[in-house]
Structures are given as C-alpha cells and as structure tokens.
Structure 1
Amino acid sequence: MKPTARIRTTPSDFVVEEIPAYEPCGQGAHLFLRIRKTGLTTFECARRIAARFKVDPRDVGYAGMKDRHAVTTQSFSVPMAETVQLESLGSIDIEGVELLQARRHTNKLRTGHLSANRFRIALRQLDPPESLQDVREALLATETRGVPNAFGPQRYGRHGDNPDRALGWLRGASRGPSNPREKRLLISSIQSMLFDEVLRRRQEDGTWNTVLAGDLAKRHDSGGLFECEDESVDRPRAERGEISATGPIFGTRMRWPKGLAAEIERQVLADKLGDEKILQRFGKNGEGSRRALRLVRTGVRVSALEGDPNGLLVEFELPKGAYATTFLGVACTLLDDGQRRDDRDGETSRHDELMQHTEFDPE
C-alpha cells in the first residue's frame, strides 16, 4: 500500500506557472494580461476580466484551465483597439488577481497556446512518516523511467459517467446532446477513457515505458512522431528517456501504429465501442491525435518542506494535457483538501468551465 500525503491544505501549497508557447510581440489588437490569481477558477477570472474591460466573456482568451484552490500564473487576452493607450487603463482591480504584465499581440490567446506547466507542490503529513525517503526516491526515479501519462478521472466528468453517456449516444441508445460544447466534452471523455485503457493494457504487458516495432514514438526534445522500425535501436533511446511510445486519441484523422501496438489499440476499440465506424460520429469534434504513454524529463526536484518534518516540497514541469496529481500519484496516495473544498475533479480540466468554453484541446 502506498503512503498517503495531503495536498492543497492552503492555496500556496499548490503553485502552478503556465509556460507560454510564445511571448506577446508588443503590437496588435489584443492585450495579453499575465496574471497571478488565488481562489478563482480560470473561467471566473476570465468573466471578471471581461467585466473589467467591458467585453463579451467569449472574447477573453486563455490557453488552459487552472485550479481555484491554488496560486496560479497564466495569461489572458482581451480585444483592444490599437488606438487605446495602455497607460490609460489603470489597475486591473480584481480581487485575488495580481497583474504581472500587460502587452499587445496580434491574435487572441486560444486553448492549447502553452508549452508546459511548472508546478511547486507541498506534500504534507506523509503517513507513515518513515516513508519520506521512499517517496523522494520514487519521484526522482521518474526522470528517465517515466510516469504513466493517464488522463484519469479528471476527464470523466464530475460523477465519472461522461464516457458511459457518450457510449450511449454513439451507439444510438440515447439522443446526443444538443449543446455542441457538451458534445465536445463527451467525445473528449471517451477519447480519454480509451487512451487510459490502452495505457492500462500496456502497463499489464510491461510495454508502456518502452517501444514496440510498429509503435508511433514521440521525440521528447522536438515533439515529432516517427514509426519504430527496429526495437534494438529505439529501445535504448526509450530507456534514456529520449523517446516514448504513443497511445491513441481516437478520431477520424488519427495516425495508426502498426504491428502489436495497432492490435492492442484495435482490440480496445472493439471491446469498448464495438465498431470502428462509430469513430465517424466524432466528426470534427474528435479528429484524433497521439499522446505519449508516459511522462519523462520533468526536471523533478524534491526537498524538505519547511514547517512540516513529515512533508516534502516537489517541483517539476509537465507538458500541456498532463496532470500533476497523476505524476505525484506514482509515489503516494493523495488526500486532496482542495478537492473537498471546491468539489472539483482535477487540476486543469473542469466540467463546468468546459461546458461554457468554446474550444477544447484533447491534449
């Protein structure tokens, strides 16, 4: 049994910094606001920014969802005519929000316009206390061995039933949602569930952290995909953490692997959906992509936690679409005080906000 640890006892225990995909260029009809927020969801922050600048909330852009019960740094964009002088704007004056930078850019900030998230998380009250060193070693060992890159319940909806709802609709047992945003949400949930099932089966057969002939592997330095043709060449690269096998984000335009990897994915599809033709019903809401089966090279650092002799401070970086709780869960079972406070499902994807958001990045 894994040791337990408490997270998000206070917002400052869970610090997230969004790393932008690009910096604002200094000119254009959109104002990029780099802010630090505490006690607000991303959606609520966007709504307040819209009210402050007197724009439609749908015109406020952001790259990804962040926690309420945390201290998070991220960027928002608002449309603003180039004739408006930034000096005339005054303070942002939103409770719980600190403005770090305001700079113009040529386009709206959209979902997925980030490269990674940097985390600084306190693990408190580790139980049993003598597990401290084991947890530290387990986290440090992930640097090259990796961590299973599961979506987990964060993507299954507040009650965990979104994949079942999606299956009922796709199989014709129920009417599909009329709200296009909800339709995207349900498709995303079943894509996530199918990916997690492929990952689970590859964990069972011991191939999740290596590559098979025919795998579509991801280069961690560039993000590029290539087909693994020679295991003797590519397996050492996987052992060094340079590459990882990918799993399916099923969709009509997804690139398929070959060999045993393809057999596993097609079997999961057959077991869960029954008919590959059902993918056609995803349409443009789920065209598909590939996702690495593991997280590696997170730059993890573990140190003593000030004020808690049975705690640890963990710092690491994850690519977009990866979950801090998944990463930490490799070493301990998390008791999430923040989840109990705000009844949330995970640290980045939220049911309520997605229902009101017009874009969704399956990665």
Structure 2
Amino acid sequence: MKEIELLGPTAWAESCGNAQLKATAEDFQVDEVLDIPLTGEGEHLWLWVEKRYLNTEEVAKRIAKAVQVPLRQVSYAGLKDKLALTRQWFSIHLPGKSDPDLSALESEQLHIAKKIRHQRKLQRGTHSGNGFIICLTQLQADKEALNERLTQIASTGVPNYFGLQRFGFEGNNVVQALEFANQHHYPEQRNMRSRLLSSARSYLFNKVLAARVLNSTWNQVIEGDILSFTESRSFFPANELESMDNRFAELVIHPTAPLIGEGELATTETAFQLEQTILEHEPSLVNWLQAAGLKQERRILRLPVKSLTWDFIDTDRLQLSFTLPTGCFATSVIRELVSLQVDDQCTF
C-alpha cells in the first residue's frame, strides 16, 4: 500500500527548537467550556469530572456501573484525551430517583468535583470549546524566536489540521478505511464504521489544507472560496465577504475545505479546481464516503487561538494557555512551535 501522509506542512518552515509533550498528565490539561446555565433541578444529574489516564468512554462506563443504570443513560459532550488531566461534564438520566452515592467512583484517576441537577441531558457537541494549559518540558529552543512565533500565532492563527490521534495508531484507521473503500464495503460494527468514515474524511480534509498551506492561501481568500464563522456549521460564498472584511481580519470568518459526503463541492473557480485536483488522487475514498450517505460539510482551514498566553518556567519549560473551538487540536498549535518528543503511548 502507498505511504500515507496524515499531516501536511506547517505554516512556518522552521521549528523554533525541540521539547517533550506529556511527561506527566498535569503537563496537558484540558477544561471543557460549556456555556449552559444549569438550573439545579430536573431528572438529569450533571457531574463535573476530573480524570487522569482514562478516556471519556471508560469514565462513562464507570459511572453507569456505579449508579447501576444502562450506559445509554450516561451522556457527555465530547471525547477528551486519555493521557492528560482533563475536566468535563457528564449527565445521568435519573427520572424519579434521588442523587446516588458516587463515592465508589473516587480514585487517583477519577474525581467528581461538582454535581448539579438539570432538566435536560448533555448532548454531544454542546460545549463551545476547550481550554488548554500545556507545559512543554526539556525545552531546547531559541526563546526570542518562540516569543515571535507565539505573537504571530496569537494574531494569525494556525492551519486547522486534524491531529494524528484522529487516525489511530500509526494511521491504522486510514489504512483500514482504504481497504474497505477498495472493496466497496463498510464495517458491520457501527462504532468501527463511524470511526473509519470520520478518519477518512479527516484525512482528505488534511490533504486539501496541506495544499493551501503549500501555496500560502490557508489564511487567505481565493476565487470561489466558501467561508464560515469560527463556531458555525453554516457557510457562504466568498463574494459575500465584502461587508465582513473586518471579521475576516479579526479571525472570526475563515476559508474552508470539504468534509466529503453526498453532493458536489460547494466551491467554484480557483478553489474548486484546487480541491478537485487533490481529491482526484483519492477516488476510492471519495466514492466510498459519498456512497455512505454522509452529508457533505465544511471545516475552517484557519484555527484561531484565543486567549493565548505563555510563560517560560525555569530554563527548559514553557507553559502555554489558550482556548480552541470544539473539534480542534492543541497539537496543531504546538507543532507550529517546536518538534516534539512524546511518550511512547501517545498518538501525537
């Protein structure tokens, strides 16, 4: 099988140095941002959970077992990293029941920091973003260059690549997706089907984004582009941008690339030709995704990095703090700064 390139070039060719990521869970902290006023009453118990070295699905299983409810009654907004210290909301549907004893859940890996009632369950994708506190250790880098690069990122954003963790260990999700696509077949297991379809769409998106990075248009509007707001799934043609120029410069509106599904590409002219040229190299994956009945969507090419601050700790540690929209990857920010050494268990 041909070699699979999962990530494209960085926006800036030169790395500022080297560092290690995730020496400990505390080096990679994620806080879910959820802008929902909780009422304090209702048949859904919401839990603010702090976890280490556990994935979100495992926590949901532990909650269901401790409370003695079916797993389907436990909900969460999004998946969080396993090899990290993360805080996120879960909800449990408990109609007619009082608050359960949650003490059995407490461990070094899991802590229930808060609980509150609400009328509705927590829906997937409800959170508005994720806040990150990341410490890069064993830093060997030019600090002046890092300061300049970070200042640039704060004002211009970074290419919005899907991170390597989207593609599984050594890109195995994409390898499997290509095998199924070449056989014109889909996995029977629902979870596996969803995972491979998602990885295939992400892989094709990254290829289009890589081409836009190479020609320096990932953060510019070209003829025929389709644009979108940062936190919106709707999109509109670039010829409507004239009255919104300030919002493009302010990183509120961005060019997009396709998440392949049914229907034709929304772009025209130069943008269409670029996307079509890239996708023609992957006909089996494109046809496979279109035949799966997925709705064609768009994803922003430029990732704004909000509230970015940084602090050099000692001589070999750099702490970063920033917020990203949902579905975006902190490693897309970090790879624009330094070349990473990671724990053998990490998929970054």
- Structures share fold, TM-score greater than 0.5: yes
Contact residue 210 and residue 238 of structure 1 kept, 8 A: no
Candidates 258, 265, 268, aligned match of 1:258? 268
What SS class does the counterpart of residue 170 from structure 2 fall into? coil
Distance change >3 Å, CA 110–CA 54, structure 1 → 2: same
Counterpart in 2 of 1:269?
279
Structure 2 counterpart of 1:67, one-letter code: D
| 1:114 counterpart residue number | 127
Q: In the aligned structure 2, how far is the partner of 1:344 from the partner of 1:64? A: 19
Contact 1:210/1:239 (8 A) holds in 2: no
Q: Equivalent residue for 2:337? A: 331
Q: CA deviation at 1:161?
A: 2.9
RMSD of aligned C-alpha atoms?
Answer: 2.4
In the other structure, the counterpart of 1:57 is 71
Q: Which residue number in structure 2 is paired with residue 89 of structure 1?
A: 101
Aligned equivalents of 1:84 and 1:275: distance in 2? 48
Q: Deviations over 1:61-118 (max 9, x none)?
A: 111121233211101111112x3333x6364642132222212223332331211000
Residue 149 of structure 1 corresponds to 160
Q: Does 1:79 align with 2:85?
A: no
Asked if residue 210 in structure 1 is aligned to residue 220 in structure 2, the reply is yes
3-state SS in 2 of match to 1:326: helix
Residues 178 and 285 of structure 2 are in contact (CA less than 8 Å); yes or no, is this contact kept in structure 1?
no
CA distance in 2, matches of 1:235, 1:126: 39
- Aligned twin of 1:345: 347
**Pair 1:212–1:234, CA change in 2 (3 A):** farther
Give the TM-score, by structure 1 length.
0.84
37, 45, 56: which is aligned to 2:59? 45
CA distance in 1, matches of 2:54, 2:159: 29
Distance 2:224 2:212 in 1: 14
1:15–1:70 contact (8 Å) kept in structure 2 = yes
Measured in 1, the distance between the counterparts of 2:136 and 2:55 equals: 22
2:230–2:300 Cα contact (<8 Å) kept? no
1:281 counterpart (291, 294, 299)? 291
Aligned pair count reads 333
TM-score norm. by structure 2 comes to 0.87
C-alpha deviation, 1:319, in angstroms: 0.7
Contact 1:149 1:322 in 2 (8 A): yes
Contact 1:61 1:109 survives alignment (8 Å)? yes
* Change over 3 Å in CA distance of 1:223–1:188 after alignment to 2: closer
Contact 1:92 1:99 in 2 (8 A): no
Q: Alignment partner for residue 172 of structure 2, among 149, 161, 184?
A: 161
> Structure 1 230/106 Cα, relative in aligned 2: closer, same or farther at 3 Å?
closer
CA deviation digits over 1:235-277, x for unaligned, max 9?
Answer: 6653442321011111116861222112222222221125865
Question: Does the 8 Å contact 2:205/2:259 carry over to 1?
Answer: yes
User: What percent of counterpart residues are identical?
Assistant: 31
User: Kindly tell me: are residues 277 and 8 of structure 1, through their superposed partners in 2, closer, same or farther at Cα, counting changes over 3 Å?
Assistant: closer
Q: CA deviation at 1:316?
A: 0.3
Distance change in 2, residues 1:67/1:280 (3 Å): closer
Q: Give the drift of 1:214.
A: 2.1
Separation of aligned partners in 2, 1:309 and 1:276: 48
The corresponding residue for 1:349 is none
Give the structure 2 partner of residue 361 of structure 1: none
Q: Which runs of 5+ in 2 are unaligned?
A: 1-13
